[in-house]
Amino acid sequence: MLCQIITIWCNLRNDISLMSHFNFCFHNTNTEILHHCSSNETDWIFYGKELNKRTFINYQKKLDIKLVIINFWTIDKYKVVSIKGLITETAISLAYKLGWDVAPLINIPDLKKPGLLILDMDSTAIQIECIDEIAKIAYRNNFVKKITKSAMKGEIDFVRSLKNRVEMLKGVKESVLKQVLDTLPLTSGLIELVENLKLFNWEVAIISSGFKYYASYLEKKLNLVESIANDLEIEDGQLTGKLVGKIVDSKYKLNSLKKISNKLNIALEQTIAIGDGYNDLLMIKSAGLGIAYKANYYVNKQVIFKIINSDLMGVFCILSSTIY
């Protein structure tokens, strides 16, 4: 139940400095002028499992800054605190080192209104790259994994790299796909995120450059509104080394985001796109809120919102700021 996950925000006192149970340090309204991501002073949230009074005091001492705490609440296993002020890159880097995550509260979709979350699949909704796992079982992993890494960094053309990797799987038995599916590791927080979003009348879909075989499974398991991914061609129980239909590349992902939101009559401002790869950037940058999830340096440097340490419930931590 949602009430077991979220602290009941309507019962919190307006003046948090008077809360006897307030477990974070509180300073006066003299906030230092620090670096920020826009021309105006920005509210931020910090969230993490180890965020508490002691760690927050030490954090401020190391940076020699004063932060005004606006509010705090709990999401699942995460403590969330909203802060007024301007935050330096040094402050953000230190927060990451402490195991926290940080987000500026700018253009956050409203959790109280219907919305749409679009998830990448491989290394986002699930913990693996399915094509690498298939190749590993088929003893073809060395070549495939190397190409996957380059594609994720944007070093080589994604469509060409995908075709090359799929060609390397020619002759692999269809049963290998089932082997990977049987041990498919869902990313921590995925089920909780989907369940809680549905309580707020949000829809969730997967748009993946991975394989439909696995995306369809997740669609059914999680009762998603839709799943879009690449189809592997299979003949006589074996992979042919080819794909069927259009390839789901970055442009296809972006167009699919727009089509699904239009079909559901959800404004683009009420959409979230989250992924980890270079081919996710178009939809991440076009959604109302775009998040890089435990992505590589090449993706992170192009995105404002990043989840570095938290599981997928970090998305809900960010969204929850609109009801606190």
The DSSP code for 110 is P
Residue among 15, 43, 76, 122 flagged as catalytic: 122
Q: What is the mean pLDDT of the chain?
A: 86
CA separation (Å) from 32 to 85, 91, 105, 183? Answer: 7, 13, 18, 50
Alpha-helix residue ranges (DSSP H) falling in 168-211: 174-182, 190-199
Q: pLDDT band at residue 152, thresholds of 50, 70 and 90? A: low
Chain-centroid distance of CA 206 in Å reads 12
Q: Which two tokens stand for residue 266?
A: 């959800």
Amino acid of residue 32:
E
Arithmetic mean of pLDDT, 50-72: 86
pLDDT score for 68: 84
pLDDT tens-place string over residues 73-124: 999 999 999 998 778 899 999 999 999 999 999 999 999 999 999 999 999 9
Domain edges within the chain = 2-104, 116-322
| Rg value, the chain, Cα | 21
Arithmetic mean of pLDDT, 160-171: 92
pTM, whole model, 2 decimals?
Answer: 0.86
Minimum mean pLDDT among 130-134, 140-144, 197-201: which range?
A: 140-144
pLDDT score for 139: 83
Residue among 120, 132, 280, 311 flagged as catalytic: 120
**Class of CATH domain 2-104:** alpha beta
The bridge status of strand 226-235 relative to strand 238-244 is antiparallel
pLDDT score for 15: 36
Cα–Cα distance measured from residue 157 to residue 199, given in angstroms and rounded to the nearest whole number: 40
Domain 116-322 fold is Rossmann fold (3.40.50)
Instruction: With a cut of 90, say whether residue 169 has pLDDT above it.
Output: yes
Q: pLDDT band at residue 17, thresholds of 50, 70 and 90? A: very low
- 27 against 180, higher pLDDT: 180
Q: Burial, 206: exposed, middle or buried (Cβ in 10 Å; 0-12, 13-18, 19+)?
A: buried
In sequence order, what are the residues at sequence separation of 6 or more whose Cβ sits closer than 8 angstroms to the Cβ of residue 175?
237
Q: Which residues is 289 bridged to in the sheet?
A: 272
Asked about 122 being catalytic, the answer comes back as: yes
Q: Which residues is 149 bridged to in the sheet?
A: none
Task: Please determine whether the domains at 2-104 and 116-322 fall in the same fold group of CATH.
Answer: no
The upper half-sphere exposure of residue 156, i.e. CA atoms within 13 Å in the direction of its Cβ, equals: 13
Q: 294: alpha, beta or left, given left = phi > 0 and alpha = psi -120 to 50?
A: left
